[in-house]
Amino acid sequence: LSDPSVYRQMVGSLQYLSFTRPDIQFVVNLASQFLHNPREVHMQAVKRIFRYIGGTADWGLQLTRNTSLSLKVYSDSDWAGCFATRRSTTGFCIFLGDNLISWSARKQPTVARSSTEAEYRALAVAVAEVTWLQYLLRDLHVPLCSPVMAKCDNVGAIHLAHNPVFHSRSKHVALDYHFVREKVNLGDLLVPHVSTSHQLADLFTKVLPSARFHELLTKL
């Protein structure tokens, strides 16, 4: 591009908008990875996002009063989805009752050696975020129901969250991720399995077919 600053300004505007538009979170995160040296193909992708926003300008989040005060989080990850770095993408969305209050899509800082490791890292990031939200809501005197429900579609990651024994395939996982186990053992966290078809965080980890994208969007 002759003027990369235009691309950066456009992506910056989209990043701001993604605070209230979870449907663009993943693609905006993807576009932000090329701020240093954007090319024409990246600019065309950003323009396509703006066209999508223009056609869905009246879309937004609907928050309801009549809902439970329980926190529920969906976490997911692709595996080695970035072709340049082979890093995976963490995605999660957090609900207070039926209301979506937090979401994220971001590349993991290191390469995962298996899909289980990638999913477990995603679970840990999601649990860290929901823990912070717990503290915030309690400071606001919101009477939360316990424990938190963290839904994951990877059986191996769920096993890691419950099993205190280190295995050869997981011993290289950084210890700070294992605070998930501590919360499970304390009874503060439940990690049930959710089928991939009902994994809402799938929206934040990869580009989806149109039908699947809109199916998940209606559930947020």
pLDDT of residue 166: 56
Beta-carbon contacts of 201 under 8 Å, excluding residues fewer than 6 positions away, are: 74, 75, 76, 91, 92, 93, 122, 126
pLDDT of residue 1: 82
* Judgement on whether residues 142 and 43 belong to the same structural domain of the protein: no
pLDDT of residue 170: 59
* Judgement on whether residues 180 and 75 belong to the same structural domain of the protein: yes
| Domains in the chain, number | 2
* Judgement on whether residues 50 and 79 belong to the same structural domain of the protein: no
H helix runs in the chain, sequence order? 4-17, 25-31, 40-55, 115-139, 155-162, 179-186, 210-217
CB distance 72 to 200 below 8 Å: no
pLDDT of residue 28: 98
pLDDT of residue 84: 86
Residue-range definition of the domain harbouring residue 48: 4-55
CA-angle at 17, arms to 202 and 151, nearest 5°: 25
pLDDT of residue 146: 81
* Judgement on whether residues 83 and 49 belong to the same structural domain of the protein: no
* Judgement on whether residues 50 and 113 belong to the same structural domain of the protein: no
* Judgement on whether residues 48 and 118 belong to the same structural domain of the protein: no
pLDDT of residue 165: 60
* Judgement on whether residues 32 and 115 belong to the same structural domain of the protein: no
CATH of the domain at 189: 3.30.420.10
Domain-embedded: residue 185? yes
Domain-embedded: residue 30? yes
What is each CA distance from 32 to 9, 80, 218, in whole angstroms?
11, 18, 26
pLDDT of residue 177: 67
pLDDT of residue 160: 87
Domain-embedded: residue 219? no
* Judgement on whether residues 78 and 50 belong to the same structural domain of the protein: no
Q: Which of 86, 75, 148 lies closest to 112 in space, CA to CA?
A: 86
Q: Taking the chain (220 residues) in consecutive chunks of 10 residues, what is each chunk's mean pLDDT?
A: 93 96 97 95 98 94 89 95 91 96 95 91 95 95 91 93 66 70 92 96 96 94
- CA 186 from chain centre, in angstroms, equals 24
* Judgement on whether residues 47 and 139 belong to the same structural domain of the protein: no
* Judgement on whether residues 51 and 106 belong to the same structural domain of the protein: no
